[in-house]
């Protein structure tokens, strides 16, 4: 990732120099895009390092949600530094007009061509990693990898839009083509930022584990001969590969306290084997008949008891 960060910074500087020399709004928009990507990679490096810290007294469930927090900051960076600046460049070009400088535009197109090759290679590597995880881009569990794929995909599309806008501006002499490219790049970045931010928000608030994992846990609980019924099951992601599981179950009548303790330990171990990411497991075990007796009107002193 450090190599990718250095490459992004070099590309950002090249785009900025070319954009200023040519007075190209599309190239300047892509420079802001590269700067935002560089900042986001810094955030992702921080997320990878900080999320691996072990649990402590202040954070007993660990630091796995650090990835979600830094991914949210990355989304904000894409929106502010990339999307808003691109909109500004597009609107300014439409209002003030533009004057192309052929020599600067040729150099800018060369820079964009090199950037397109670099970003395309990075996207292919990210998609290969997605394939190794056996998932799809929309179904990725790792917010850091999901952010990288989104960044690389938008980078390729953004560079393509900038090349098209600059080329059409050179051919027709109409700045509207390049301004439109800047606005399109801004809209693309705002959309990506929204999607990434929405996912990070859900995970920070406390998103449940995926349905498949929850289904396996519920089936395992129902299959236990000592469990009469599963009253409630709650799950929450506490990190990329960690989740909290809390279940309220009613046991069959007649179990003594020692047997109940043995059953609870066995069930927890079974859940941990079935769903490896469930590293925090809590069981609330009750005897239905004892609970109903305790809640009866006769036991509580309410009128109407038999």
Is residue 193 located within the same domain as residue 235? no
Of 178, 205, 232, which marks where a domain is finished? 205
Residue 302 belongs to a domain: no
With left for phi above 0 and alpha for psi between -120 and 50, is residue 252 left, alpha or beta?
beta
Structure confidence at residue 17 (pLDDT): 84
The tokens of 297 are what?
């009107």
How many whole angstroms separate alpha carbon 50 and alpha carbon 67?
8
Kindly state whether residues 21 and 151 are assigned to the same domain: yes
Any domain includes 253: yes
User: Is 160 in contact with 184 (CB distance < 8 Å)?
Assistant: no
227 lies in some domain: yes
Residue-level pLDDT at 55: 83
Of the candidate ranges 3-12, 139-148, 160-169, the one whose mean pLDDT is the lowest: 139-148
**Which residue has tokens 């931010």?**
197
Mean confidence (pLDDT) of the chain: 81
Least confident residue range of 11-15, 51-55, 132-136, 237-241 = 132-136
* pLDDT (mean) for 223-237: 90
Same structural domain for residues 101 and 115?
yes
Domain match, 261 and 197 both: no
| Domain shared by 90 and 187, yes or no | yes
The CA distance from 181 to 11, in Å, is 19
At which of 189, 205, 221 does a domain end?
A: 205
The percent of the chain in helix, strand and coil, each rounded to the nearest 5, is: 70, 10, 20
Do 201 and 249 reside in the same domain of the chain?
Answer: no
Domain total of the chain: 2
Last residue of a domain, one of 205, 236, 252: 205
Looking up residue 120, the CATH number of its domain turns out to be 1.20.1510
Q: Are residues 27 and 149 both part of a single domain?
A: yes
- Tell me the mean pLDDT in the region 15-25: 82
Least confident of 128-137, 185-194, 280-289: 128-137
Looking at the structure, tell me whether residues 246 and 265 fall in a common domain: yes
Residue 302, C-beta contacts closer than 8 angstroms, at least 6 positions apart: none
Strands in 242-251's sheet, in edge-to-edge order, are 227-239, 242-251, 278-287
For residue 249, what is the domain's CATH number?
A: 3.30.70.1350
Q: Is residue 303 part of a domain?
A: no
Helices (H) and strands (E) in the chain, counts: 11, 3
pLDDT beyond 80 at 166: yes
Q: Is 160 exposed, middle or buried (0-12, 13-18, 19+ CB in 10 A)?
A: middle
In a shared domain, residues 37 and 2: yes
| Cα 54 to Cα 69: distance, rounded to the nearest angstrom | 17
Per DSSP, what are the bridge partners of residue 281? 245
Let me know if residue 304 belongs to a domain.
Answer: no
In a domain, residue 182? The reply is yes
Same-domain status, 170 and 38: yes
Are residues 247 and 146 part of one domain? no
- How far is the C-alpha of 157 from the C-alpha of 41, rounded, in Å? 19
pLDDT digits (tens, 9 = 90+) for 58-98: 888 888 888 888 888 888 888 888 888 889 888 888 888 65
Q: Which domain holds residue 158?
A: 1-205
Pairwise CA distance, residues 257 & 233, whole Å: 23
C-alpha span between 82 and 89 (Å, rounded): 11
Q: Is residue 2 part of a domain?
A: yes
Q: Quick: pLDDT tens for 41-58.
A: 788 788 778 888 888 888
CA R_g for the chain: 28
Phi, psi (rounded to 5 degrees) for 216? -65, -40
For 145, other C-beta atoms within 10 Å of its C-beta total 18
Residue-level pLDDT at 303:
44
Q: How many Cα neighbours within 13 Å face the side chain of 235?
A: 20
pLDDT of residue 217: 92
Check residue 205 and give its pLDDT.
87
| Domain match, 33 and 129 both | yes
């Amino acid at each position: 990732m450090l190599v990718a960060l250095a490459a992004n910074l070099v590309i950002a500087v090249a785009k900025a120099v070319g954009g200023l020399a040519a007075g190209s709004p599309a190239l300047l928009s892509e420079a802001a895009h590269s700067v935002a990507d560089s900042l986001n990679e810094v955030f992702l490096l921080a997320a990878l390092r900080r999320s691996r810290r072990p649990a402590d007294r202040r954070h007993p469930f660990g630091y796995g949600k650090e990835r979600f927090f830094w991914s949210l900051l990355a989304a904000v960076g894409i929106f502010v530094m990339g999307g808003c600046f691109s909109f500004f460049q597009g609107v300014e070009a439409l209002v003030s007009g533009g004057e192309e400088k052929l020599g600067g535009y040729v150099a800018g197109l060369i820079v964009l061509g090199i950037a397109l090759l670099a970003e395309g290679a990075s996207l292919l590597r990210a998609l290969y990693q997605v394939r190794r995880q056996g998932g799809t881009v929309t179904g990725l569990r790792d917010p850091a990898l999901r952010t990288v794929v989104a960044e690389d995909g938008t980078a390729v599309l953004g560079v393509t839009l900038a090349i098209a806008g600059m080329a059409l501006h050179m051919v027709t002499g109409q700045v509207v083509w390049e301004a439109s490219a800047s606005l399109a790049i801004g809209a693309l970045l705002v959309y990506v930022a929204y999607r990434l931010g929405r996912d990070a928000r859900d995970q920070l608030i406390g998103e449940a584990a995926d349905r498949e994992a929850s289904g396996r846990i519920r089936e395992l609980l129902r299959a236990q001969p000592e469990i009469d019924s599963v009253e409630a099951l709650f799950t929450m992601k506490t990190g990329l590969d960690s989740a909290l599981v809390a279940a309220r179950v009613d046991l069959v009548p007649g179990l003594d306290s020692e047997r109940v303790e043995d059953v609870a330990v066995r069930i927890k171990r079974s859940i941990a084997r079935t769903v490896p990411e469930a590293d925090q497991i809590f069981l609330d075990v009750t005897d239905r008949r004892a609970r109903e007796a305790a809640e009866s009107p006769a036991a509580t002193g309410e009128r109407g008891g038999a």
